[in-house]
Chain A
Amino acid sequence: MTANVIEVNGLEHSYGSVKAVDNISFTVKEGEIFSFLGPNGAGKSTVINILTTLRKIQKGEAKVNGYDVASDSKHVRQSIGIVFQMLCLDHEMTVCENLEYHGKIYSMPKKERKKRIEELLKLTELEHKRDTLAKDLSGGMKRRLELARGLMTKPAVLFLDEPTIGFDIQTRMRMWDYLREIKREGTTIFLTTHYMEEADQLSDRISIIDYGKIIATGTADELKNKLGKDLIYLETDDNKTVAEILRAMESVKTVTEDTKSLRVMIGEDVTHVLPQIIDKIRQAGIEITTINIKKPSMDDVFVHYTGHGLREGEPQEKIEGIKTEGVSE
């Protein structure tokens, strides 16, 4: 049995009257990549900030590497590496100096620092940039340097808050490769993301989080299979009636009504069910305008569990505003 590197129980956190994290419990096992998938403002960063001891815990319990976040923050800090959502490198220092500084503030002995820097420059392919000022690196390289920095102290867990935000897909995929490599070396990774593909392709397990609550947890396949084997996307003249007809069918698991379309989850092989569905809709005298079959994706999983797509904007702004106010307190 593998040990739990992160254990969270009944975690709650509010900014004023806004509840950003609402009674969350989860565990992260040693050596896995665990993702928090959710829209901006879902409470992901708050959870990361609490687990990394940057924010005081208000309610609940959290342990990282066996140490209590509230009472043993020093040991927690020594056990973790962090890659923040915002780039925070010292732009006026070189690649090497940035790593050197990090090793120093974690009291690493000089010999160990030198050795680790070499290993990490190799891992993140920044060897030829060692004496380049951080400001002269490309966006992807800066992120890699931050990754190297997060790994400097050989942490038990590496926390990444939206590690590939704002990157193009190539850069993002390369970043995933690095993260897989880090995992192979035995580091547990906890990351937050609002990119479906990132959670889907990279993580061993995913928790979907929305409005401060965990809605579902499992491997990408588990989450998709729970939805059904196949998904039919339908547009018809009368979606309401069609939804009723389909709900009565045994092989149909769920029917979700969107503004224009219907998403129909099928529990069994779609090739046999589809003709029946078309027949029934025709018999009711309703015209089908569009029909499309696919395997459920993370997007579908997300829509299924949250009842909406990845929203952008409003709730996040509210919470961010309160967060900044909190800083100067």
Chain B
Amino acid sequence: MNFEFQAIYWREMVKFFRFKSTLISSLIQPVMWLAFFGLAMSDSFDQLTSMIPPLEGVRNVDYLSYMGAGIIAMDVLFSSLFGGTSLMFDKKFSLLRETLASPTPRSHIILGVGLSGVTKAFIQTGMIIGFGKLIGMDFFLGYTFTETLIAITGIFLLVGIFTLGFLFLSGSIAITIDNPEGMQSILTLLSMPLFFVSNALYPIESFPAILRFLSMFNPLTLLADGIRYFALGDNFTVMGMHYIYTPADVIISFLGLLFFASVMLTAALWRFDKVDV
């Protein structure tokens, strides 16, 4: 058994904590989304939807809590999608040469980078949940300690698989493309439909049929749904929409994300195998 991926992981983490500016901004950014966008939108949405009579016996969730799940999904999407960029610079400045010339298998490079991304995503998720609770996000409302623990584990598992998938995707692009501008534009192009054709920030029920159909296959939707199931329960209303999640829905989220991550892993392994120095 080889453990070279630990070396890659170690290096990524050393650098993550070394750059104070990127460290702090990556931690503050999700909090700012919640604090500014979340609170502002939440108030206006809740005002608009306050006229809708609540369903009898079903918990009504405010927009902030609904969106909180989406913010987690969005935040880990962006950080993992852009997470591969460091690999492109490593390649560009020949830093990758040292590792590629070593006996370390290339799959370990992918794994090490992937795991470091998961760690960063976990830190961010924890920040959002913690800060969200502080400003009144109703995650885990009425849960027992054990239920909360299970919910948190579920959320982190989903976030982990999701992050790996997008890091593999971003790593594959990074290793294939040579110029930062090209990478930037591809990622921006990708992030746009991913972000908007999903239920991260708003329910998809009122989408045009085609967008609604597409959004079902969007990993971001799968993740947001999964997080909501764990954080808000399986039966709630928000903005007049009635949400019922069954265990099957959560299993679909898991399987869908696992499928996505494995396809991306295959792509990454293939691209890394082609890298020449």
- Chain A interface (Cβ within 8 Å of chain B)? 49, 52-55, 74, 77-78, 82, 84, 86-90, 92-93, 97, 101-102, 104-107, 149, 326-329
Contacts and interface: CB of A to CB of B under 8 A. Distances in A.
B97 A106 contact: no
Contact of B102 (A92, A106, A328): A106
Contacts of B277: 49, 54, 327
Interface residues of B, number: 29
A148 to B, nearest CB: 13
A328 B178 contact: yes
A93 B276 contact: no
B98 A102 contact: yes
Interface stretch (B11-19, B113-121, B192-200, B251-259): B11-19
A77 B94 contact: no
Nearest to B102: A105
B4 A104 contact: yes
A105 B14 contact: no
A77 B98 contact: no
Nearest to A101: B11
A145 to B, nearest CB: 12
A149 B4 CA distance: 17
Contact of B4 (A87, A93, A107, A328): A107
A284 B176 CA distance: 69
Given A53-B101, A77-B101, A328-B178, A104 B276 contact: no
Contacts of A102: 98, 102
B44 to A, nearest CB: 43
Contacts of A328: 176, 178
Contacts of B98: 82, 84, 88, 102, 105, 149
B10 interface: yes
B96 to A, nearest CB: 8
Contacts of A82: 98, 101
B3 to A, nearest CB: 7
B35 interface: no
Contacts of A93: 11, 14-15
Contacts of B2: 107
B103 A52 contact: no
Interface of B: 2-4, 6-8, 10-11, 14-15, 18-19, 93-95, 97-104, 176, 178, 274-277
B11 A88 contact: no
Contacts of B95: 88-90
Contacts of B10: 101, 104
Given A54-B101, A104-B10, A329 B4 contact: no
B70 to A, nearest CB: 33
B115 to A, nearest CB: 14
Contacts of A106: 102-104
A329 B276 contact: yes
A149 B94 CA distance: 15
Contact of B14 (A52, A97, A329): A97
B55 to A, nearest CB: 55
Q: Which 4 pairs, one residue from A and one from B, show the smallest C-beta to C-beta distance?
A: A104-B7, A88-B94, A105-B102, A77-B103
Nearest to B94: A88
B97 A84 contact: yes
Among B7, B15, B97, B275, the most chain A Cβ lie within 10 Å of the Cβ of B7
A88 B100 CA distance: 12
A105 B7 contact: yes
12 contacts: A88-B93, A88-B94, A90-B15, A93-B15, A97-B11, A102-B98, A104-B6, A104-B7, A105-B103, A107-B3, A107-B4, A149-B98
A74 B101 contact: no
A93 B178 CA distance: 24
A328 to B, nearest CB: 7
Contacts of B104: 105-106
A135 to B, nearest CB: 11
Contacts of A327: 275-277
Contacts of A107: 2-4, 103
A74 B15 CA distance: 28
A125 to B, nearest CB: 22
Contacts of B15: 90, 92-93
A54 B100 contact: yes
A243 to B, nearest CB: 48
Nearest to B18: A92
B276 A326 contact: yes
Nearest to B8: A105
A293 B99 CA distance: 51
A93 B16 CA distance: 11
A308 to B, nearest CB: 31
Given A105-B104, A327-B275, 17 more contacts: A54-B97, A54-B276, A55-B276, A88-B93, A88-B95, A89-B95, A90-B11, A90-B95, A92-B19, A93-B14, A101-B7, A105-B4, A105-B7, A105-B99, A107-B2, A327-B276, A328-B178
Given A84-B97, A92-B18, A326-B276, A74 B6 contact: no
Nearest to B11: A101
Nearest to A324: B178
A88 B97 contact: yes
B193 to A, nearest CB: 27
A87 B98 CA distance: 11
Given A104-B7, A107-B3, A326-B276, A78 B94 contact: no
A206 B69 CA distance: 67
Contacts of B19: 92
A285 B274 CA distance: 69
A288 to B, nearest CB: 53
